[in-house]
């Protein structure tokens, strides 16, 4: 009975971690379908976003900008502003990376692009380590007391509620963008068939730009939220999450952003709930096992379409 009584609490943790994985997965999925390669650097772009936020926040603190907590949250206006700026700066950074690295390799095919992304992953991680060192950096120093939801016996902190609400809001925003805006529709069209998109007159260069902006900003969000949840960040943050993110994207169906969201939730929940039965150390193995089973049973994923 002991293991089962922990499950409601673990579901809450699973939703939090699933929210973060989903946000990372959307970018991987969009890059795969529109640019045609698996971006192994996506995890490190998440870490880059988290460190940019840390850097901007340190700058603001140095300038004497206070960080009095907003309501029940553990961070204040200064951190929130750093968060928003980090999204923009990360998006800008990935656009620059695309211009320097991926753009000139576009015609070389998906394997070359994937290899380049592995190189970029190592490069980014080592740049972060060079500037900030390998040791953990504290994101949130304040200790927060979890509230108990009566009846269910679930404990949840205000910051965790914030993570879930922000993730849901961003998913709804991405959904509305993809479904109802001209550029969103052009992105879905390009994901279907970029050659036809070009022949139709769709400005595919701009579609690619938007893909990086959305993927980069959401990756930064995922990195920063992971920092808030864990209270600290290391340069390994993204790389460690990459397996879960890839497992989520494959589970949901490669190239379908909605699949990435669904897959992210399932992976997050499975990883957390599994700890009721097996050691926490096996969390990555759970994601890996789900990914392998999905590849064997239905390689197109839960919501995947035949290409």
Q: Which is nearer to another protein, 160 or 190 (CB)?
A: 190
CB contact set of 280 (below 8 Å; sequence gap of 6+) = none
CB of 186 to another protein, least distance (A): 6
Least Å distance, CB 174 to another protein, is: 16
261 binds another protein (CB under 8 A): no
Indicate if the alpha-carbon torsion angle 225, 227, 228, 230 is positive or negative: positive
In the complex with another protein, which residue's Cβ is closer, 105 or 189? 189
CB of 183 to another protein, least distance (A): 10
N- to C-terminal Cα separation, the chain: 46
Nearer to another protein by C-beta: 6 or 185? Answer: 185
Binding letters toward another protein, positions 163-202, x by CB under 8 A: -------------------x--xx-xx-xxx-xxxxxxxx
Alpha carbon distance 105, 99 (integer Å): 10
Closest CA to 293 of 282, 281, 301: 301
DSSP for 103-171 reads HHHGGG-HHHHHHHHHHHHHHHHHHHHHHH-SS-EES--S--PPEEETTTTEEE-HHHHHHHHHHHHHH
CB of 42 to another protein, least distance (A): 22
Element containing residue 15 per DSSP (H, E): helix 7-30
The string over 182-221, giving b where at least 16 C-beta atoms fall within 10 Å of a residue's C-beta and e elsewhere, is eebebbbbbbeebeebeeeebebeebbbbbbbbbbbbbbb
Output 14 or 304, the one with its CB closest to another protein. Answer: 304
Residue 202 C-beta: closest distance to another protein, Å: 5
Draw the binding track, 199-238, toward another protein (x: CB under 8 A; -: no contact): xxxxx-----------------------------------
Number of chain positions touching another protein (CB under 8 A): 18
**CB of 133: closest distance to another protein in angstroms?**
45
Residue 126 vs 193, nearer CB to another protein? 193
Query: Which residues 29-68 are close enough to bind another protein by CB under 8 A?
Result: none
Which residues of the chain form contacts with another protein (CB under 8 A)?
182, 185-186, 188-189, 191-193, 195-203, 305
């Amino acid at each position: 009975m002991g293991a089962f009584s922990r499950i409601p609490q673990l579901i809450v943790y699973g939703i939090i971690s699933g929210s973060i994985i989903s946000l990372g997965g959307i970018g991987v999925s969009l890059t795969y379908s529109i640019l045609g390669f698996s971006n192994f650097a996506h995890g490190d772009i998440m870490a880059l976003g988290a460190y940019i936020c840390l850097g901007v926040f340190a700058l603001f603190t140095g300038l004497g900008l206070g960080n009095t907590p907003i309501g029940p949250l553990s961070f204040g206006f200064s951190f929130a502003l750093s968060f928003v700026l980090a999204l923009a700066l990360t998006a800008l950074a990935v656009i620059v990376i695309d211009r320097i690295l991926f753009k000139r390799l576009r015609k070389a095919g998906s394997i070359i692009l994937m290899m380049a992304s592995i190189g970029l992953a190592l490069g980014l991680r080592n740049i972060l380590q060079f500037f900030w060192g390998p040791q953990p950096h504290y994101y949130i120093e304040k200790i927060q007391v979890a509230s108990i939801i009566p009846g269910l016996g679930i404990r949840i902190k205000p910051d965790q509620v914030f993570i879930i609400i922000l993730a849901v809001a961003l998913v709804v925003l991405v959904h509305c963008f993809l479904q109802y805006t001209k550029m969103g529709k052009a992105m879905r069209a390009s994901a279907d068939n970029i050659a036809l998109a070009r022949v139709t007159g769709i400005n595919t260069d701009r579609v690619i730009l938007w893909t990086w902006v959305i993927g980069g900003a959401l990756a930064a969000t995922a990195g920063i939220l992971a920092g808030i949840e864990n209270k600290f960040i290391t340069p390994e943050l993204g790389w460690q999450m990459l397996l879960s993110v890839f497992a989520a994207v494959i589970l949901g169906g490669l190239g379908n952003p909605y699949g990435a969201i669904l897959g992210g939730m399932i992976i997050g929940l499975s990883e957390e709930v599994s700890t009721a039965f097996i050691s926490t150390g096996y969390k990555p193995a759970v994601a890996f096992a789900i990914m392998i089973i999905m590849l064997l049973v239905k390689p197109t994923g839960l919501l995947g379409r035949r290409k």
